[in-house]
Amino acid sequence: MQILLIGSGGREHALGWRLASSASCDKLFAAPGNPGIGEDAELVALDAGDHAAVAEFCAQNEIDLVVVGPEAPLVDGLGDSLRAAGFAVFGPDKAPAQLEGSKGFTKDLCSRADIPTAAYARHSDKAAALADLPRFGLPVVIKADGLAAGKGVIIAETGEQAEAAIEDMFGGGFGDAGAEVVLEEFMVGEEASFFALTDGENIVPFGSAQDHKRVGEGDVGPNTGGMGAYSPAPVLTVELELQVMQRIIRPTVEALSAEGMPYNGVLFAGLMLTDEGPKLIEYNCRFGDPECQVLMTRFKGDLAALMLAVAKGDLGEADIPEFDDATALTVVMAAKGYPASPEKGGAILGVDTAAGEGQKIFHAGTAIKDRALVASGGRVLSVTATGGNVTHAKDAAYAVIDNVDFPSGFYRRDIGWREMEREVK
């Protein structure tokens, strides 16, 4: 089959790498892609916001499957436009993509379907939000309703911080995303990510991971898109995964289908493992970045065939996804200044020869300038390796980093620390 992959990050490099090596893939295009993806795909300069142009490209190139990597085009309805034009798409339509596009939408759905999550309130009026604050106690979580590139969540320790966050959101600090806010009860526990594929009817688990969202070692400093991750997440035991499927994923898929907005693609559940069992923090309507890099490293099988089955509603007949038992761990190399103001243009040397067997460097914000590889974004490389456990995978990943010369970059040295502490015991 001929496939078009939309996106340009480390997540899309990992997807492209697995799609291109699928027996059922004859040709892979990526738009716009990046230099790493260019090794596996033909790069095309398409604007994902121009739905007609994407559909025309698909028609001209006899595309059998479109895989949409990032959330923005899904929330923007690219899936609807391409399906209306007759193409098979991996990724939800605009209505079910509200699971990521509107935090209030997800909370209301959880409430209707009795899915365990933090208590909440939606507010589109500042005075009402301020008046409602006290009943949530402290700390309290304040979220901009819409997409805010992972920055729209404030955990307020004091009443003053909470009020300031509400003022900021209604004052336009998060643009349109903050026109409505969600107040949430603060949940205590360890976080883990769980993935499932669904065609709206059939659902299959698709692995677990844990990531490190804070920029600094020891999980301190500003939130980022993710500085590293590993898969599987041993804290998500088989028993807990079963609970997550039964109490969170399945009711979500069933509610969306019953309400006329069937979900198609990957559901990425951010979970809090509380004393009362796993609770949903949030949904994403796409793979995580960098979680995708570790999932794809462990995935065994024909990804293209599996994604086509999801897109066509044939997941019930597809092979059950299988993953290598090994642990995969990825360390993000970011440009200095990330996340606030990453330095662009810095040289990167050694990438072509740094990785050996069981090791892989995924490109994210890279570009070719004067025939040399340079940094062009915040997160630049995602250096991934496998091992028998987190400790071994981590050693293998940092061994690759030692071979990469990226003077204007930085990375955390402690990816996987929580799990490594448990492995020592």
Contact flags string 60-99 toward ligand AMP, x per CB under 6 A = ----------------------------------------
Q: How far is the CB of 64 from ligand GLY (least distance, A)?
A: 27
Other beta carbons less than 10 A from residue 402's beta carbon = 9
Q: How far is the CB of 356 from ligand AMP (least distance, A)?
A: 33
Contact flags string 143-162 toward ligand AMP, x per CB under 6 A = -------x--x---------
Residues 275 to 304: which contact ligand AMP by CB under 6 A? Answer: 281-282
Nearer to ligand GLY, 373 or 416 (CB): 416
Contact flags string 233-272 toward ligand AMP, x per CB under 6 A = -------------------------------------x--
Enter the DSSP assignment of 135: G
Which tokens in the block code for residue 273?
A: 């493992």
> Which entry of ligand AMP, ligand GLY, none binds 282, CB below 5 to 8 A by partner kind?
ligand AMP
Other beta carbons less than 10 A from residue 62's beta carbon = 9
Q: How far is the CB of 400 from ligand GLY (least distance, A)?
A: 20
Distance CA 417, CA 402 (A): 19
* Binder among 64, 100, 145, 184 for ligand AMP (CB under 6 A): 184
CA nearest 336: which of 384, 368, 367, 380? 380
288: helix, coil or strand? Answer: coil
> Which entry of ligand GLY, ligand AMP, none binds 12, CB below 5 to 8 A by partner kind?
none
Q: Is residue 118 a contact point for ligand AMP (CB under 6 A)?
A: yes
Which residues, including other chains, have CB under 8 Å from residue 371's CB and lie 6 or more apart? Answer: none
**Cis before 32 (ω within 30):** yes
From residue 94, give the alpha-carbon distance in Å to each of 38, 77, 203.
29, 4, 20
Distance CA 72, CA 9 (A): 13
Q: How far is the CB of 103 from ligand AMP (least distance, A)?
A: 7
DSSP letters, 203-222, are: EEEEEEEEE--EEETTTEEE
**Cis before 232 (ω within 30):** yes
Nearer to ligand GLY, 19 or 192 (CB): 192
Q: How far is the CB of 185 from ligand AMP (least distance, A)?
A: 6
Q: Which residues bind ligand AMP (CB under 6 A)?
A: 118, 141, 150, 153, 184, 186-187, 191, 213, 270, 281-282
